[in-house]
């Protein structure tokens, strides 16, 4: 999820969204980078009883690298662009790139992988009416 800032409010919003997804389970430990906004955000989630009290946080810069590896293909696409004109255009462009990567990696359920079905899924995802 994109955020204009990496502050505590944005971190809490990110974790709430990630944890509310129905395919995720409650983690034993959350591994994040050294951003100082993460521990207070996770503590707030524990106080709000969204996370159990026994969930740990591990702030190690390089362990988070496994997750970052998944974004290499996106970085390869975005880096040659000359930047985004607005936050909104960046958000929409990155959503499209993420959706195409999910299709390519087979992470979309109930999709018979053919070109026509992929096009229908993308149209449905972005609300395009033909």
Q: Do the Cβ atoms of 16 and 101 come closer than 8 Å?
A: no
Q: pLDDT (tens digit, 9 = 90+) per residue, 17-65?
A: 888 887 778 889 998 888 889 999 999 999 999 999 999 998 887 766 6
| Cα–Cα dist 113/108, whole Å | 9
H/E stretch holding 88: helix 87-104
- Segment 115-123 shows an average pLDDT of 79
Q: What is the pLDDT of residues 84-106, one digit of tens each?
A: 888 888 888 888 888 888 877 77
Per domain, the residue ranges of the chain are 8-68, 81-125
Q: Is the pLDDT of residue 1 over 60?
A: no
b/e sequence 42-52, b meaning 16+ C-beta within 10 Å: bebbeeeebbe
Mean pLDDT value of segment 109-130 = 76
- Reading the block at residue 39, the tokens are 């521990």
């Amino acid at each position: 999820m994109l955020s204009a800032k990496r502050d505590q409010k944005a971190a809490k919003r990110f974790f709430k969204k990630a944890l509310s997804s129905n395919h995720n389970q409650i983690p034993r430990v959350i591994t994040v980078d050294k951003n100082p906004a993460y521990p207070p955000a996770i503590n707030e989630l524990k106080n709000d009883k969204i996370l159990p009290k026994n969930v740990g946080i591990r702030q190690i810069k390089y362990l988070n690298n496994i997750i970052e590896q998944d974004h290499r293909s996106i970085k390869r696409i975005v880096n040659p662009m000359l930047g985004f004109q607005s936050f909104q255009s960046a958000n929409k462009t990155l959503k499209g790139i993420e959706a195409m990567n999910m299709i390519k990696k087979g992470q979309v359920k109930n999709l018979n992988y053919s070109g026509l079905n992929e096009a229908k899924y993308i149209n449905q995802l972005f609300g395009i009416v033909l």
